[in-house]
Amino acid sequence: MVKDIDRFSGMSAGLSNRLFFRLYQCANMLHKTGTRALEDHGITTQQWAVLGALTRPGFEDGAAVGDMAAFLLVSRQNLAGVLSRLEAMGYLERVVDEKDGRSRLIRLTAKGRGLWDGDMRPVIADYYEEALAGFSTEDRIHMIHYLDKMLRNFKKIDPDAESRSKEAAE
Amino acid sequence: MVKDIDRFSGMSAGLSNRLFFRLYQCANMLHKTGTRALEDHGITTQQWAVLGALTRPGFEDGAAVGDMAAFLLVSRQNLAGVLSRLEAMGYLERVVDEKDGRSRLIRLTAKGRGLWDGDMRPVIADYYEEALAGFSTEDRIHMIHYLDKMLRNFKKIDPDAESRSKEAAE
DNA sequence: AAATTAATGGAAATATATTGACATAAAAAT
DNA sequence: ATTTTTATGTCAATATATTTCCATTAATTT
């Protein structure tokens, strides 16, 4: 993923390597700096993603674990651990789905909603501003376009994620 | 990181949120599909990044743990664990730096080099081709540009990573 | 209605990410 | 030369990522 001498298809292979390495580095820094930004509230980037998902229209009345996992593109088992910790902190609750005894609906508690609206969002907005300094609206649109395109490719490589993600309506 | 109603600075805040969420999702899928691509060789994306780093000019005669950590943008402690597992599998070795008794130089073994050149690189090339289907050379250049820019911002947020990364000559 | 198959969420094992702390070694200051 | 400060790599605790497996529940087939 780093140095990969161009032996396959010329310059483009070198660019691919560089691109993936950058994506890898960006992801590491996203988690590091994002978690750092919210450390006063004891929230990690994964917890941020979960809390954010729960404020989303369509999820406000409770979200199934499988649907959230598909939406966030993590495994159900991984999500279970993140949910347990957030539940222990009192930010969310799990209730059995009346319509399906296997399913649990995850909902924000009042405490969780207060954390999100009152504490997290201002910090997140500042963080975005710092992390995207020098990015025009056009730059952001372009970058989203490329990430979306790459995501579609990833989902072709992993059809499971694709089908589950579609069901999660994203 | 997901739904963040535009209350701060209009549309751009919504784009920021969407952009970071996509980056978050892409990173998850990169690790999932990348590790899947190399599962026949029992190599994860993090191990791939480490092995790749060790083939890089400047690192071929051995790399210090701190320099590698700075280059990969992970913590020294995290890297130590990844290195231990690769060492246990016989792919790399650690030797004490003659010039600095505190430092260890990490080098690929013949086995590690054989794995990288013979087994991994063809698989990685195929993976890149699938993951970047539909991306022109121009697209790749643009995406690298945006990721580089974002990385610079991240390093401003986390000056430790910046100074250490510069020392690693990247 | 009963049997079979599939879905759901969590347990367990393993790999990887962070931070703080520690022992040893080197650099800097006195 | 000695003392103080900084650097290096590892240990430990914790959070998060995967996969395989399991118990329970629902859907499908017979």
Q: Which residues of A touch B38 (CB under 8 A)?
A: none
* Count of other CB atoms within 10 angstroms of residue A41: 13
**ipTM exceeding cut-off 0.85 for this assembly:** yes
Q: What is the pLDDT of residues B93-116, one digit of tens each?
A: 999 998 899 999 999 999 999 999
Of the two residues B114 and B10, the one the predictor is more confident about is B114
Whole-angstrom Cα Rg for chain B = 18
In angstroms, the Cα distances linking A17 to A9, A90, B125, B132 are 12, 43, 9, 11
Q: Which residues of A touch B34 (CB under 8 A)?
A: 1
Question: Which stretches in chain A have pLDDT values below 50?
Answer: 4-9, 169-170
Beta-carbon separation of B30 and A13 below 8 A: no
| C-alpha closest to that of B30 among A12, A54, A21, A169 | A21
Å separating the CA of residue B91 from the C1' of nucleotide D19: 24
Distance from first CA to last CA of chain B, Å, rounded?
29
Whether the pLDDT of residue B167 is over 70: the answer is: no
What letter represents residue B81's amino acid? G
Q: What is the pLDDT of residue A60?
A: 79
Å separating the CA of residue B73 from the C1' of nucleotide D22: 38
Q: Collapse the DSSP code of A143 into the 3-class scheme (helix H, G, I; strand E, B; otherwise coil) and give the result.
A: helix
Q: Which residues of A touch B15 (CB under 8 A)?
A: 137, 140-141, 144
Comparing A67-81, B78-92, B153-167, the range with the smallest average pLDDT is: B153-167
Q: What is the pLDDT of residue B1?
A: 59
Beta-carbon separation of A156 and B133 below 8 A: yes
Instruction: Name the residue facing A153 among B15, B27, B132 (closest C-beta).
Output: B132
Beta-carbon separation of A4 and B52 below 8 A: yes
Whether the pLDDT of residue B6 is over 90: the answer is: no
Q: Are B16 and A132 in contact (CB under 8 A)?
A: yes
Stated length of chain A: 170
Residue bearing tokens 């999932």: B32
Whether the pLDDT of residue B37 is over 60: the answer is: yes
Q: What is the pLDDT of residue A52?
A: 93
Split at pLDDT 50, 70, 90, the class of B170 is: very low
Average pLDDT over residues B13-27: 91
Q: Percent of chain B scored above 70 by pLDDT?
A: 88
Distance in Å, alpha carbon of A122 to nearest chain B alpha carbon? 9
Calpha distance A122→B97 (Å, rounded): 47
Stated length of chain B: 170
Of the two residues A71 and B5, the one the predictor is more confident about is A71
* Count of other CB atoms within 10 angstroms of residue A36: 14
Q: What is the pLDDT of residue A81?
A: 94
Q: What is the pLDDT of residue B4?
A: 46
In angstroms, the Cα distances linking B56 to B10, B147, B169 are 44, 21, 12
Calpha distance A73→B33 (Å, rounded): 11
Please give the order of strands across the beta sheet that includes A63-64: A63-64, A100-108, A92-97
Distance in Å, alpha carbon of A100 to nearest chain B alpha carbon? 27
Q: What is the pLDDT of residue A107?
A: 95
Calpha distance A106→A93 (Å, rounded): 6
In angstroms, the Cα distances linking A67 to A21, A53, A139, A168, B29 are 30, 10, 31, 5, 16
Calpha distance A117→A133 (Å, rounded): 24
| DSSP classification of residue A3 | -
Q: What is the pLDDT of residue A23?
A: 94
Split at pLDDT 50, 70, 90, the class of B10 is: low
Q: What is the pLDDT of residue B8?
A: 41
Residues 6+ apart with CB under 8 A from A7: A13, B121
Rounded mean pLDDT of chain B? 88
Q: What is the pLDDT of residues B141-152, one digit of tens each?
A: 999 999 999 999
| DSSP classification of residue B61 | T
Percentage helix, strand, coil for chain A under 3-state DSSP, each rounded to 5: 65, 10, 25
Q: What is the pLDDT of residue A57?
A: 84
In angstroms, the Cα distances linking A64 to A108, A163, B75 are 13, 16, 34
